[in-house]
Chain A
Amino acid sequence: MVPLSYYVIVSTVMFVIGLVGVLIRKNFLIILFAIELMLNAANINLVAFSHYFQTVSGQIISLFIITIAAAEAAIGLAIIIVLFRKKATTNVDEISLLKW
């Protein structure tokens, strides 16, 4: 049997990969990908604990997270399209319209 801590370690490493991805990448789309990675890491954690505590509550919360991620993807892509129409770039360093 696989110990619970293995799943937690996988989830931790994936979350940190997503975090580093948000920090080092300049492409707006890849930053959204990294956010998806972090949400997936949270899902692994929730489902692992749900399995080991013998309850489906964690799986339901991870279902909600998947829903939120879908809504986030739709909104994020709409923002990308609007920005690309205005600035013709997805580099977050060049998108500084609201900077004083």
Chain B
Amino acid sequence: MAQLLFFLYFAGMALFSSVLTIGLRNPIYCTIALLSTFIHVAGLFVLLHAEFIAAIQIIIYAGAVLILYLFVLMLLDLKSNESFLHRQSWIALFFGLVILAEILVVLFKSPILEKTGAVAVAAAPAIGNTEAIGLSLFNEYLLPFEMVGIILLGGIIGALVLAKQPRPAAPVGGNGAHHADLPSIQPAAPVQEGTPEEVGARSGQPFDKIGSL
């Protein structure tokens, strides 16, 4: 009974704050509402005896990803003059309700409706949740684990390449010289001081600067 009460609290708060996430006007408030959603979803995970996933949810989602969002939000200084009452929002609400009704109709016809977790508690595993996840992760799911690592590497490199600011002009003899391999910088190279032979050598072979740095 207590479990049902906790479930209702966590589920209700998660849904309420997810509505706030998409409904509030100020993006900072949206972020705080999303934080509340994540924390209450972590509560749902604890109720499902997935303690490791709950901890990961708090640490990675609420701790890292959301702070990243908040950081960019503070950096951009957005104006919130957005109006929700455009034509697209009515269509979106209509289709959202249609999809919700479809999924609920399918759910209430399915045989999972009455199933509870009574079996789960009786056959609780002898080893802990984290240990079970670790064993399974490094035995059965080793290949997907490595693939996710490669995806993360791609994410790091992609974010760096996208967000790197192209320098408008290379400073004379400064540290910006190793950006000479960018196409947008090339016309600025002959402006640098030096004899014509030196300048020609610099623009002709931009890569030996990298070795000297």
Interface residues of A (CB under 8 A from B): 1-10, 12-14, 16-21, 23-27, 29-30, 32-34, 36-37, 40, 43-44, 47-48, 50-52, 54, 56-57, 59-60, 62-64, 66-75, 77-82, 84-85, 90-91
B82 interface residue (CB < 8 Å to A): yes
Q: Which residues of B contact A75 (CB under 8 A)?
A: 155, 158-159, 162
Which residue of A4, A14, A77 is within 8 Å of B14 (Cβ)?
A14
Q: What is the bound-complex CA distance between A30 and B52, given in angstroms?
A: 28
Q: Which residues of A contact B100 (CB under 8 A)?
A: 12-13, 16
In chain A, what residue has the closest Cβ to B131? A56
Which residues 28-48 of B have a CB within 8 angstroms of A?
30-31, 34, 37-38, 41, 44-45, 47-48
Q: What is the bound-complex CA distance between A59 and B119, given in angstroms?
A: 18
Which residue of A13, A48, A64, A91 is within 8 Å of B144 (Cβ)?
A64
Q: Say yes or no: A54-B120 contact (C-beta < 8 A), given A40-B37, A66-B61, A77-B68.
A: yes
Q: What is the bound-complex CA distance between A2 and B97, given in angstroms?
A: 25
Which residue of A12, A30, A63, A72 is within 8 Å of B30 (Cβ)?
A30
Tell me if A1 and B22 are in contact (CB < 8 A). Answer: no
Q: What are 19 A-B pairs at a CB distance below 8 A?
A: A4-B112, A10-B15, A12-B107, A23-B89, A23-B95, A24-B22, A24-B84, A33-B69, A34-B22, A47-B45, A50-B48, A50-B50, A63-B137, A70-B64, A71-B152, A71-B154, A73-B65, A78-B160, A82-B163
Tell me if B78 and A27 are in contact (CB < 8 A). Answer: yes
B123 interface residue (CB < 8 Å to A): yes
Smallest distance from the beta carbon of A25 to chain B beta carbons, Å?
6
With contacts A30-B30, A43-B57, A75-B162 known, what are 20 further pairs, Cβ within 8 A?
A: A1-B121, A3-B113, A3-B115, A4-B112, A10-B15, A19-B99, A20-B92, A21-B21, A26-B82, A33-B22, A51-B49, A51-B117, A52-B115, A56-B132, A66-B53, A66-B57, A70-B65, A77-B159, A80-B76, A81-B75
In chain A, what residue has the closest Cβ to B116? A1
Q: Which residues of A contact B165 (CB under 8 A)?
A: 85
Smallest distance from the beta carbon of B16 to chain A beta carbons, Å?
10
Interface residues of B (CB under 8 A from A): 3-4, 7, 11, 14-15, 18-19, 21-22, 27, 30-31, 34, 37-38, 41, 44-45, 47-50, 52-53, 56-57, 60-61, 64-65, 68-69, 72-73, 75-76, 78, 80, 82, 84, 86, 88-89, 91-93, 95-97, 99-100, 103-104, 107-108, 112-121, 123, 129, 132-133, 136-137, 140-141, 144, 148, 151-152, 154-156, 158-160, 162-163, 165
